[in-house]
Structure 1
Amino acid sequence: MNPELKPCAQSTHYFLRDHGMLMFEAENVLFRVHEYFLHRDSPVLRDMMPVEISPNGPEPIFHLDGVRSKDFEQLLWLYYNPAVTVYDAPKTTWHAILKLADRWEMDNIKKIALGNLLKAADLEPLERIMLCERGDLSRDQATEAYITVCSREAPLTVEELKTLSTEVMVIITCAREQIIALRGNAEASAVDVVKTALKKI
């Protein structure tokens, strides 16, 4: 004989409401994914999503204008990563995720992307400088990168210059000119020049 069932209470944290699935389109590629994660993490996407979708009506498609399908796919990988705690990806993936996290105000995702990007062994000094100029790093956290770029033998390439703001180009150009004039002195001179240039901003 089965014991009498007692009334059940809902878990405060883990009685999840079914947000269902949603379809997104980026560059003519369709994605059908769980609504929950994007609804939770992005106030921008949350505003795009309907309060309720009719079960009998056509499934709406949300168009992600200006978003590369590959970038959106990489963001989704973060949610559907089968390794759970292992985020093994090249820096290009983290750059793409960081860009979308900025666009959609996904603060927690931004922290994950930035943390993994900074751990990348192949992160170039100029990339660290650009993270600083975006406001993701302090000037102190990018000082070594500035010193490396300003004191290197090779000048900045055209492609590198295209990635820099006018302010950063002025800092690097002025510091490089002063460092060239100081060639032959102690290495500390280059460090002092760069630190002085950064303090003027």
Structure 2
Amino acid sequence: MNIRDKTFYSDFKIFKVENVLFKVPTDALTAESEVFRDLLKLPPVPSNVEGLSDENPIHLEGVLSNDFRQLLRILCPRFKSTQVLSFTQWTSVLKLADQYMMDSVRSHAIFIMDQQSDFDPIDKIVVARRYSIKSWLTPTYNKILQRPQSFTQHDLERLGSDTVLKLVALRDRLKPMENSRFGSFGLWSLGTKREAISVDFTEALEETLSDCYEIDSESKQSASALTVNAPTDMFIFAAEPSGIPATSATPTRRFTGLRNARAGRRH
């Protein structure tokens, strides 16, 4: 009776991910994932055995082919010791490790990603939130506050306005530390609140916020209506003698009554 070697005898199955076919040793998946163990243990239907041909693959729904490719680069023995993945590629591994309950792969991905430097800290915060990696949050938020770049519209969309406003408020509390004898050493301290300053922002405002000074046609019409109505009411209230009681009459009628009252005084 022949015995199968536990290391070098693999059962291959064909998976379809999006429109891409992958022929994969199943032990690479079942060793790490209970989900795949259950999937591949299902009793085969004799007339319709999935995964044995390109015409009848095992279809993985809701998975991107590129994500699956990165996962296989980590799992398959042929590539395990040679693959160097970017932060984005490791994010694909983390995504599927989380989806298919591959706890050891998830932990390994988090460890490797935390050692990398080829990433935008905003991206790292997004990944940390999505996959509940709390240990990343404080140090990565710190990097964001320490960097020289300002927040962008893209950052706002990814982090959300609430988070960005809180981070800006923290940055606003910075103030230079000064020594009474030697002046500033270029060091900073974090105050308890934002402090008032005497800098004139006029030129910078007109340059940076030039698009905010444009008024659309609807705003112009509203402003025009206010300009026409406001002075009449202001004149009536300002010119109304203290002896004439206030009424609920319309501005035109009140103005007429005021004019008649003045005419009566002259006579």
Q: TM-score, normalised by structure 2?
A: 0.55
1:182 deviates by: 3.7
1:89 deviates by: 1.7
* Pairing 1:29-48 to 2, within 5 Å after superposition: 29-48=20-39
Aligned twin of 2:70: 74
Letter of the 2:94 counterpart: L
Inter-CA distance 78–17: structure 2 relative to 1 (3 Å threshold)? closer
Cα distance in 1 between the residues matched to 2:151 and 2:77 = 38
1:189 deviates by: 0.8
2:22 alignment partner, SS class: strand
1:148 deviates by: 2.7
Q: Which has the larger radius of gyration?
A: 2
Letter of the 2:126 counterpart: M
Q: TM-score, normalised by structure 1?
A: 0.70
Cα distance in 1 between the residues matched to 2:44 and 2:58 = 13
1:127 deviates by: 3.0
Aligned twin of 2:123: 127
The 4+ residue runs of structure 1 with deviation greater than 6 A are 16-19
Letter of the 1:123 counterpart: F
Identity of aligned residues (%): 25
1:177 and 2:174 aligned:
no
1:155 deviates by: 3.5
Any stretches of 5+ residues in structure 1 without a counterpart?
A: 1-9, 194-201
Cα distance in 1 between the residues matched to 2:61 and 2:171 = 45
Return the structure number with greater relative CO, CA threshold 8 A, min gap 6. Answer: 1
Range moving further from structure 2, 67-76 or 115-124: 115-124
Corresponding residue pairs, total: 177
Letter of the 1:72 counterpart: F
Any stretches of 5+ residues in structure 2 without a counterpart?
A: 51-56, 178-186, 194-267
Q: Deviations over 1:23-74 (max 9, x none)?
A: 21111111121111212211222232244446x6444122111211111111
